[in-house]
Structure 1
Amino acid sequence: VWLVKWILLGRVKPGQHPLWSCWACRWDYLYTIWQHWAAPAMTPLGGTPFLPMWLRTVGANVGDNVVLHGNFVQLVDPDMLTLETGSTVSCLFQAHSFEDRVLKIAPVRIGVGASAMAQTVVMYGSNIDDGATVAPHGVVMKNEHLTAGQYYRGGPCRA
């Protein structure tokens, strides 16, 4: 999976790609490979230092002392993730979307000491500031900025 990611896509940058373009087809192939091979192998690594280490090798920016739960592993856009030092992450990332036959990809950031709890969905372009917490089952909408130190819940999230 690691080799396929770097051969097919290399370092992914934020952007937009037509749905039937060669790039989007390669991205979709990686998504399928990741789902069938990487996700089952990585799930037992949740909560260990090995999951952040693996994600760094595929392009994610993961700080020190980051706790990642095993359900985090279906992640096809690792280059779009910044997980700052001391964050706790048990959410589902959607760093991409298909809108009007266009694949859109944008970064997601979880700040220092911030938490995105179980079954929360974090959409592309969002920023969870330092010390903010998103309650379980929350939805952080695309391009949303959650203020530092606040507690958020609901879908879409509200302080």
Structure 2
Amino acid sequence: WWPEPDLVTVGDGATVNRGCVVQTHLFHDRILSMDEVRLDAGATLGPHGVVLPAARIGRHARVGPGSLVMRGEHVPAGTSWVGNPIGPWTDATAPA
């Protein structure tokens, strides 16, 4: 769902999966604010993910299923994040 497609930038090879919301506007205290959302080249927004205004998902970065990228957050290039709100996606089977 892209309410204002002119505020969304999707780079080459970026993926927006099923059920995602790319939100470019918010109402806060009855005031409308709008800002761009960017998915850089090769970025992935997992199924049912939500991205809020002024957020950016870097080149080849991954945001996992059902995750929330908060307003103004920048997901660094080549990293993986998951959760609501997002945090680093770590391998639970890796030794501590």
The TM-score range, normalised by the shorter chain, is: 0.7 to 0.9
Match of 1:89 in 2: 16
Larger gyration radius, structure 1 or structure 2:
1
1:131 aligns with 2:60: yes
Distance of 2:15 and 2:29 partners within structure 1: 34
Deviation at 1:75, TM superposition (A): 2.1
After TM superposition, the score normalised by the length of structure 1 is: 0.53
The aligned amino acid for 1:81 is V
Structure 2: state its 5+ residue gaps. Answer: 89-96
- Aligned mates of 2:13, 2:2 — CA distance in 1: 20
Q: Taking every aligned residue pair, what percent have the same amino acid on both sides?
A: 36
Aligned counterpart for 2:80 among listed residues 145, 151, 157: 151
Which has the larger share of strand? Answer: 2
How many residue pairs were aligned?
86
Moved more, 74-83 or 100-109: 74-83
Which contiguous aligned blocks of 4+ residues in structure 1 show a shift greater than 2 angstroms? none
Structure in which a larger fraction of residues adopt helix: 1
Q: Please provide the CA RMSD for this pair.
A: 0.7
**Pairing of 1:40-79 with structure 2 (within 5 A):** 74-79=1-6
Q: Per chain length, whose mean CA-contact separation is higher, i.e. which structure has more relative contact order (CA < 8 Å, sep 6+)?
A: 2
1:89-128 residue CA offsets vs partner (Å, 9 max, x unmatched): 1221111000111111000000110100110000000000
Q: Distance in 2 between matches of 1:75 and 1:93?
A: 5
